[in-house]
């Protein structure tokens, strides 16, 4: 393997000749062999940092053109665009578990941009710190990258997945209008409900969760860029914070603004915690929905069996013909992962000691994993489960006819205690509600038939 010598403020170090990273990246690569097989820094963070470098170069070009020449600006923009396209992904080897500020990943991007641009220019045009990192610090770049990457992932992946799921629920509601079944509370029989009403509850939960996540985005989209090292804006030109946020907005197509208080923006992650909490609320609702679906589909002969879901793959290596609700299981496992991620993010966010939080990479990793996994799980559940969900209407009617809780329809006529007596008598003697009512003498057959209409109880 051919190597070249790179140097930083600590001296020289050998780097693979065909890689664009430099000395600081190489030191981190050697010193943090923690999770190197799996827990790499998310590509979304690398791309968000590259976007910041591009926005910063454009802002510096306007504010300090004597320092950020047109040639340098164009070189940074060109290299940053290559990173954002994913064409230089092999040059970002660092893991999540590194310095808590994310400094080494920030420098990884700085070094790749500088070395790539210098190779293209055929000369030493850019310095990773003096040019690519101009008017910035890792301390304001990395928390901004978390916000940018999170907002972009929510808008581009999570919201479209939710919209497809909501549309599928709406279709199922329409398809099952007028189908009445037995509701259940405490896992026990309850009053009748229309299946479309039950589905509408699922749909409304997801719609509400989408709205809650949407309300978090304005705060998440406040960037502490321009605060530099400790929030004071040291070495950044006047107006850089506002202008760089405008450039980020232009490049991303999303409405980012400058954080009103950079000291808060560098040390606090409350906006990320808030957004992830809304994502966790969505995960909790999806867990509930997935459980409802798999319980309603339980069987095929000894369960509830009120719905059928697609039979996607064999369910057992020993029991022939067994098919399991695997999409429901996948959804609930993802939800469990997100619950764990929320705890990690919450604990990490509490570690904003003095002027900087030093748990940023692990927050970025868990935040983006939650958005990605949930987006993919929603898409899979919608496509491979909801789209093929069918109501077993005969089974629903059978269960509705057998339930004792339809006696509630008689309560206004005969009172709670007599209605309860009818239900208990029917259960003890294995009678229908009508048979129990007539045996107890509470109503005549004509009175019972006139007032007992379970299908009208919804």
Q: How confident is the model at residue 352 (pLDDT cuts 50, 70, 90)?
A: confident
Token representation of residue 50: 């590259």
* Domain at 404-456: CATH code: 1.10.40.30
Reading the block at residue 202, the tokens are 């699922």
Cβ atoms of residues 269 and 348 within 8 Å? yes
Domain residue extents for the chain: 3-134, 148-394, 404-456
In this predicted structure, what is the pLDDT of residue 455?
Answer: 86
What Å distances lie between residue 370 and 128, 209, 226, 261, 317, CA to CA? 32, 15, 28, 28, 31
Question: Tell me, what's the pLDDT at 1?
Answer: 83
Q: How far apart are CA 403 and CA 304, in angstroms?
A: 13
Length of the chain: 458
Q: Is the pLDDT of residue 273 over 80?
A: yes
- For tokens 């809780």, name the residue: 405
Assess if CATH 1.20.120.1200 describes domain 3-134: no
Q: Where are the beta strands (DSSP E) in 1-136?
A: 3-8, 11-16
Find out whether 45 and 30 touch, Cβ atoms under 8 Å.
no
Give the range among 228-232, 288-292, 454-458 with minimum mean pLDDT.
454-458
pLDDT tens digits, one per residue of 169-220: 999 999 999 999 999 999 999 999 999 999 999 999 999 999 999 999 999 9
The yes-or-no verdict on residue 380 having pLDDT over 90 is yes
Share above pLDDT 70 across residues of the chain, in percent, rounded to a whole number? 100
Q: How far is CA 297 from CA 81, 216, 310, 405, in A?
A: 49, 35, 10, 22
Which two three-digit tokens encode residue 203? 């749909």
| pLDDT tens-digit readout, 5-18 | 999 999 999 999 99
* pLDDT for the residue numbered 116: 98
What residues are labeled active site? Answer: 186, 316
CA distance 5 to 13: 6
- Tens digits of per-residue pLDDT, 313-338? 999 999 999 999 999 999 999 999 99
Place 37 in a pLDDT band, splitting at 50, 70 and 90. confident
Taking only the tens place, the pLDDT of each residue in 67-114 is 999 999 999 999 999 999 999 999 999 999 999 999 999 999 999 999
Written as six digits, the tokens of 327 are 């999409």
The DSSP output letter for 154 is I
Angle at 370 between CA 364 and CA 371, to 5 degrees: 90
Of the candidates 347, 418, 327, 341, the one whose C-alpha atom is nearest the C-alpha of residue 372 is 341
**The domains spanning 148-394 and 404-456 adopt the same CATH topology:** no
In CATH terms, is domain 148-394 a member of 1.20.200.10? yes
The predicted pLDDT at position 151 comes to: 98
As a whole number, mean pLDDT of residues 255-270 equals 97
């Amino acid at each position: 393997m051919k190597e070249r010598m790179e140097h930083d403020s600590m001296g020289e170090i050998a780097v693979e000749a065909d890689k664009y990273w430099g000395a600081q990246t190489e030191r981190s690569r050697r010193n943090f062999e923690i999770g190197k097989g799996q827990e790499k820094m998310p590509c979304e963070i690398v791309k968000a940092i590259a976007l910041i470098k591009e926005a910063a170069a454009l802002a510096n070009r306007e504010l300090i053109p004597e320092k950020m020449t047109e040639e340098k600006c164009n070189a940074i923009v060109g290299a940053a665009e290559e990173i954002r396209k994913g064409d230089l992904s092999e040059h970002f080897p660092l893991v999540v578990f590194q310095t808590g500020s994310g400094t080494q990943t920030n420098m990884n991007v700085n070094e790749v941009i500088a070395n790539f641009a210098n190779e293209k220019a055929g000369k030493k045009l850019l310095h990773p710190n003096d040019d690519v990192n101009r008017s910035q610090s890792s301390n304001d770049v990395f928390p901004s990258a978390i916000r940018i990457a999170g907002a972009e992932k929510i808008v581009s992946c999570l919201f479209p997945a939710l919209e497809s799921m909501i549309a599928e629920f709406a279709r199922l509601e329409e398809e099952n209008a007028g189908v009445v079944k037995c509701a259940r509370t405490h896992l026990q029989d309850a009053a009748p409900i229309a299946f479309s009403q039950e589905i509408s509850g699922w749909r409304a939960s997801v719609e509400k969760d989408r709205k809650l996540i949407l309300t978090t985005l304005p705060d998440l989209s406040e960037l502490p860029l321009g605060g530099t090292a400790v929030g004071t804006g040291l070495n950044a030109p006047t107006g850089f914070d506002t202008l760089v946020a405008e450039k980020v907005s232009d490049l991303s197509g999303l409405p980012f603004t400058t954080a009103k208080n950079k000291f808060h923006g560098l040390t606090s992650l409350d906006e990320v915690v808030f957004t992830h909490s809304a994502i966790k609320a969505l995960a909790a609702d999806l867990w509930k929905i997935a459980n409802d679906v798999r319980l309603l589909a339980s069987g095929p002969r000894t369960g509830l069996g009120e719905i059928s879901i697609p039979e996607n793959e064999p369910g057992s290596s020993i029991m022939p013909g067994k098919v399991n609700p695997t999409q429901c299981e996948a959804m609930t496992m993802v939800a469990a992962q997100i619950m764990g991620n929320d705890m990690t993010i919450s604990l990490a966010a509490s570690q904003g000691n003095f002027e900087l939080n030093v748990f940023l990479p692990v927050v970025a990793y868990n935040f983006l994993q939650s958005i990605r996994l949930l987006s993919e799980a929603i898409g899979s559940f919608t496509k491979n489960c909801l789209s093929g969900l069918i109501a077993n209407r005969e089974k629903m009617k059978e269960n509705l006819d057998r339930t004792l809780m339809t006696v509630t329809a008689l309560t206004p006529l005969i009172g709670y205690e007599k209605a309860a007596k009818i239900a208990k008598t029917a259960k003890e003697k294995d009678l229908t509600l009508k048979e129990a009512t007539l045996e107890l003498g509470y109503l005549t057959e004509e009175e019972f038939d006139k007032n007992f209409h379970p299908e009208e109880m919804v």
